[in-house]
Amino acid sequence: MQLLATALFIGLASCQLPTAKLGQGTFRGTTTAVSVGPTSSVTVEKYLGIPFAASPVRFAPPEPAPTATDEQDATQLQGVCFQQFSYPEAIHNFTQQVFNRPPPNETEDCLTVNIFTSSGNTTGKSVMVWLFGGSLNFGGNAVKTYDGSSFAANQDVVVVVPNYRTNVFGFPGMVEGLDPDERNLGFLDQRAALQWVQDNIEQFGGDPTKVTIFGESAGSLSAGLLVLTTPQNPPFRAAILQSGTAGLLPRQVSAPGGVTAFSKLGQALNCTGGDTLACIRAAPGLKIKDLIEKQSIAFGPVVDNVTNPENPIALRQERRIADVPILLGSTAEEARVFVTIYAGGRNVANLTNYLATTFKDPAVRERVSAAYPVGPGGPFPTEYDAQAAIWTDLQWTCPALKEANLSASSGYPTWRFYFNASFPNTQTFPNGGVYHSSEIPLVFGNLPGAPQPPPTDEERALSDAMQTIWANFAKNPTAGPGWDAVQPGNVHNLGVLGGPQNSTGFATVSSNVTDSRCDILVQGAAQGGPSTPTGPSPSASSAAAMSLKIPGEDRGSMVAVSVAVFAAVIGFATQLL
């Protein structure tokens, strides 16, 4: 009798689970109750691991998802695409500690999407598609921080989180045998996911005409490239760019680094025959992952003029990009995590070496050093603090200024934010401050708990405020986030999220405050910075003026990393140590 009752209970519970009927089949999701106040909650439907494409053929573009006749289970998170956390071991371990906890399962059959929507018969909801970061080397939709339940419950939007291929599986480079238009496979995966959203999101209560793309780091780079490369009928109507500016990506039509990387992988796999591509295609995926990590073989996007344009500045100035409102910004102390990564997880730095490898001209180094004075009682008590600040400004703050001005001067509605809040439970490493990616838990409302300290009231309030700002922008992009838009060529106000004077919402501050050292850095890099990667560069002045060299040995042209290639900073720079 007890067995019968248990079976009956399970059967009834199964019947109560939500389902979505799509062209590719019917998918059974699950539900969760999300607290939205002291005494109320909202039920959110979660559909996890729905394929938006077929299981991918290695180094081939995504194909449509197959049709299933049986009801498919979508109640459990599925694997992410193969990730790359490059060595040395200290960097490998620390990067995972910050960006990959707890580690999700990894698989090559990874082109799936997670969907979060509040229960009920409501239709016409705004849709927010999240593109995760991870240097185009790692990341995935099974990361718990990217659970969209809180966002969907609090803001009544549909949150969509797709996977896409990264590292060599997503960006093999300029490889003989691959179609020139089909080499940035990770970007093609993102496009396939957005098309799937257009075709299917109504079944989850969403409106396909009300899609906003948003992302952080490599996800922001990806969203920015989508804006640049879909001028006609873009599958979104707004974009939110967190800590990433695709418009300043250095242009490389030829990519010797990519060819060398693929050849190096072939050699490591003993692909000594004539067809390296076929040999690598046949190798076990886990073996490839192990080799590219332990040998720190770096891969990244190439110019194809489909997903990654040769001349983004001209496209914007000539208004040949998606005509959508943009909200972009960065965090106050982005680079603290990267300075710590390259010190093997320690809060130490050698400012003299850093300046010497970043700025060749001694006079430039002196001016930059004077702008970031090290000493007790000042804003930069240690060399670590100064190096992190220079790196943050050079690679994030100043490019955000540049991108905002370019966008606004070309006639696109543009707003800029500045995240400046740090809480004990978001410190994944000591003295992290307002580091790169630290705003994501607040955007998603997934505030860390035990074993971390519990969220503070201020943290919860700021998270609520940020969710509201992000969602309201998605619901009515032309209205903006609540502060003034960037005015072309003028000093503008930024919306500051958090900070000592504004812990529970946003205030505004002049760009003169946040960008006060940008002229020194840009001029310094142009006059005495490292050489940029080889290849045609229609935007050479801006790219060269904002390039950065990672401290360490010079091991080739990839030593110079443009500030806009923040998305590849881990994968490329680990070769340079």
Q: pLDDT 10s per residue in the chain (577 long)? A: 444 444 444 444 445 899 999 999 999 999 999 999 888 999 999 999 999 999 999 999 999 999 999 999 999 999 999 999 999 998 999 999 999 989 999 999 999 999 999 998 889 999 999 999 999 999 999 999 999 999 999 999 999 999 999 999 999 998 989 999 999 999 999 999 999 999 999 999 999 999 999 999 999 999 999 999 999 999 999 999 999 988 555 444 334 455 689 999 999 999 987 899 999 999 999 999 999 999 999 999 999 999 999 999 999 999 999 999 999 999 999 999 999 998 878 888 899 999 999 998 999 999 999 999 999 999 999 999 999 999 999 999 999 999 999 999 999 999 999 999 999 999 999 999 999 999 999 999 999 987 889 999 999 999 999 999 999 999 999 999 999 999 987 889 999 999 765 656 789 999 999 999 999 998 877 665 553 332 222 222 222 223 333 333 232 222 223 323 333 333 323 222 2
- Does 71 qualify as catalytic in the annotation? no
SS3 state of residue 491: coil
Show me where the domains of the chain are located: 2-335+395-489
Q: What is the per-residue burial (b if ≥16 Cβ within 10 Å, else e) of 29-42?
A: beebebeeeeeeeb
Q: Of 301, 278, 56, 304, nearest to 180 (Cα)?
A: 304
DSSP-assigned states of every residue in 226-283: HHHH--SS-S-SEEEEES--GGGPPP-SS-HHHHHHHHHHHHHTT--SS-HHHHHHHS
Residue 356 corresponds to which amino acid? A
Backbone angles phi, psi at 276, to 5 degrees: -65, -40
Distance CA 473, CA 495 (A): 13
- Does 217 qualify as catalytic in the annotation? yes
What CATH number matches the domain at 2-335+395-489, 3.40.50.300, 3.50.50.60, 3.40.50.450, 3.40.50.1820? 3.40.50.1820
Backbone angles phi, psi at 436, to 5 degrees: -55, 120
Q: Of 329, 306, 303, 195, nearest to 249 (Cα)?
A: 303
The residue annotated as part of the active site, out of 118, 126, 135, 217, is 217
The residue annotated as part of the active site, out of 334, 383, 403, 439, is 334
Backbone angles phi, psi at 45, to 5 degrees: -90, 135
Number of residues in the chain: 577
